[in-house]
Amino acid sequence: MAMGGGNGGGGGRRLTAARPEGDRSALLRRTAGMFRPYVWALTALVLLLLTTTGLDLLGVRLLGQMVDRMAGGATLGSLDRLFVLYLGAVLGSSLLGVVQSFVNQAIGQGVMHRLRSRLHDHLLRLSVRFYTSTRTGEILSRLSTDVNAVQQAVTGTFTDFLGNLFTLVIAFGMMFALDARLALITLLVLPVWVYPTMRVGAHMRTLMREWHEESAKMSSHLEETLSVSGAMLTKTFGRQEHEAARFERSNDALRSLSIRRLMAGRWFNMGTSLFGALIPGAIYWWGGRAVVGGDLSVGTVVTFAMLATRVFGPFAGIARLNTTLLSSLAVVERIFEYLDLPVEVEERPDAVHLTRPRGAVAFEDVRFAYREPAAALDGVSFEIPAGRMVALVGPSGAGKTTVTYLLQRYYDPTSGRVTLDGHDLRDLSLDSISAAIGTVMQETYLFHTSLMDNIRYGRLTATDDECQAAADAAGLRALIARLPEGLETKVGERGYRLSGGEKQRVAIARAMLKDPPVLILDEATSSLDSRLEREIREATAMLARGRTTIVIAHRLSTVVAADEILVFDHGRIVERGRHDDLLARGGLYASLYQEQFADVEAAGV
């Protein structure tokens, strides 16, 4: 079902319906633009449609003539001739119908293929802000369901419309040529039948849309509760019954919507088949009187009855055109909405490419807000000469992680600049920024593939030996030896088959392969067991050697070793200096030290 496919179809449709005409025609033009590369194929499609419709209706006319020959006692030869013609018309129409479907599909799938790639490319370029504010399920649905719906809606609408138009024009042309009075009556009776079925059809579409919305809701709910983290959360809080009840509500709604939709469909079909049965009866009755009176031939009445049943569908289709068009446009519009999302972090056309960055980093009076007016960073300035280490400390929510985001250009500052080797990040190519910076975060994201592939993500050209060496250096040797398939072991979705420390070491191995001049480290807050802790510390220390390092520090050893400590509070740097000096000052750092580091020190880690 093309119309209202995917979730939130209703919103899109209302949006379109409320649009001023000018916008809608712009949307239509843009939609038509997607088909520009297919002008010749579309021309062929139109000709094919015209030919198949013409041949099909010619077949009907030939049947009528055969009936006349029968009734008039014609020669056998003329019947043979008519049959051969009929055979040609029917075969031609069927075979060309196949060709027509092929052309139609080739166009539709071609447009869809391009749209899908463009959408995917665009999504990859969108900033992190887009991903933190959109549900994954929704993004996936636009990329798959909506793009499919566009193909069905647009090519379906187009071919249906033309096919219907041709059928109506040719069939009514034939009917008026045969008998104007009977044709006129058919034309007047049609709306009486079409209107109620259209009402039922509209009702069906509403139900269909509700069903889509409900089932989208159910699947995103399932996606959340049946994922690893979701399943753990449910168990931890003993929320199985709560989740079951929530599921049951959706499940009930789907059942009743399905039944109502099917029943509406049944009424719709009943209406159509009733019409299909009654119309020939009425024409035989009415036309039969004319035949008896000698005004009409039997063949004409038979032709009429057949043509009348054929125009019903196309007539309803054309009458529905506005609705169909609107809902097709709504789907198209939702795709365009995504394609039009501005790429917040964009590479300048004349961007500088750093071939061998040294890794000097500076923040110059940087202000940044995730959402105005609350600034996450406000007037932050600091400089890290290449190869030095800076530790960021501060209470939760102070803006430490945000600093690392801006440095990776996930976001641009609202004012001030972030520089790498003296270049504003906005002047550099995105590639040179990502090549210059490596990260080891607390939450390491792993793909559901082998350990080897996950490590190789650091540098795609790395050989197996290099991956192995990086894994060893990151302290993964013991783990790999224990695994039955070694480095080829799959890590499970998001790496759930690995412990937190193991995942972090995979991240270290990745960063080693990448070998960037700038390193961002987010130290683990939870104290791991001390041997593991020491191993990771050694691996990260080795990784950090010779690189510019920004570390969100949770360990005493780190802050003591740092060239400078930046103390953040409410998005500002409130204190800065070396450990001993800051401690002696007795300010925020001193109290943080009491809370965070002193007990660790006491534990002897």
Ligand X SMILES: Nc1ncnc2c1ncn2[C@@H]1O[C@H](COP(=O)(O)OP(=O)(O)OP(=O)(O)O)[C@@H](O)[C@H]1O
User: What are the residues binding ligand X (CB under 6 A)?
Assistant: 132, 370-371, 376, 394, 396-402
Nearer to ligand X, 11 or 397 (CB): 397
Least distance from ligand X to the Cβ atom of residue 231, Å:
25
Nearer to ligand X, 112 or 562 (CB): 562
Q: 400 with 394: CB under 8 angstroms?
A: yes
Closest CA to 16 of 318, 321, 331, 320: 331
Query: DSSP secondary-structure letter at 366?
Result: E
Query: H helices of 408-552, where?
Result: 430-436, 451-456, 464-473, 477-482, 500-514, 530-544
Nearer to ligand X, 396 or 461 (CB): 396
- Per-residue interface string for the shown chain with Mg ion, residues 358-397, x marking contact by CB under 5 A: ----------------------------------------
Q: Which of Mg ion, ligand X, none lies near 353, with the C-beta cut-off 5 to 8 A by kind?
A: none
Q: 25 with 230: CB under 8 angstroms?
A: no
Binding flag, residue 401, Mg ion (CB under 5 A): yes
Q: Which of Mg ion, ligand X, none lies near 458, with the C-beta cut-off 5 to 8 A by kind?
A: none
Least distance from Mg ion to the Cβ atom of residue 589, Å:
18
CA distances from 169 to 172, 293, 314, 452 (A): 5, 30, 10, 65
Closest CA to 172 of 319, 320, 312: 312
Least distance from ligand X to the Cβ atom of residue 370, Å:
3
Least distance from ligand X to the Cβ atom of residue 523, Å:
11
CA gap 474, 511 in Å, rounded: 10
Q: Which of Mg ion, ligand X, none lies near 314, with the C-beta cut-off 5 to 8 A by kind?
A: none
Q: Name the residue whose CB lies closest to Mg ion.
A: 401
Residue 382 β-bridge partners: 363
Q: How many residues touch Mg ion (CB under 5 A)? A: 1
Least distance from ligand X to the Cβ atom of residue 101, Å:
48
Least distance from ligand X to the Cβ atom of residue 380, Å:
11
Q: How many residues does the chain have?
A: 605
Q: Which of ligand X, Mg ion, none lies near 505, with the C-beta cut-off 5 to 8 A by kind?
A: none
Nearer to ligand X, 132 or 526 (CB): 132
Least distance from Mg ion to the Cβ atom of residue 554, Å:
10
CA gap 359, 346 in Å, rounded: 22
Residue 573 β-bridge partners: 568
Nearer to ligand X, 116 or 129 (CB): 129
Nearer to ligand X, 394 or 416 (CB): 394
Nearer to ligand X, 112 or 398 (CB): 398
CA gap 1, 9 in Å, rounded: 12
Following DSSP, what letter does each residue of 543-586 receive, concatenated? Answer: HHTTSEEEEE--SHHHHHH-SEEEEEETTEEEEEE-HHHHHHHT
Closest CA to 129 of 377, 444, 405, 324: 405
Least distance from ligand X to the Cβ atom of residue 566, Å:
11
CA gap 500, 528 in Å, rounded: 9
Nearer to ligand X, 370 or 457 (CB): 370
Binding flag, residue 442, Mg ion (CB under 5 A): no
CA distances from 430 to 63, 345, 352, 427 (A): 70, 9, 9, 9
Nearer to Mg ion, 424 or 569 (CB): 569
Least distance from Mg ion to the Cβ atom of residue 21, Å:
50
Q: Which of ligand X, Mg ion, none lies near 371, with the C-beta cut-off 5 to 8 A by kind?
A: ligand X
Q: Which of Mg ion, ligand X, none lies near 402, with the C-beta cut-off 5 to 8 A by kind?
A: ligand X
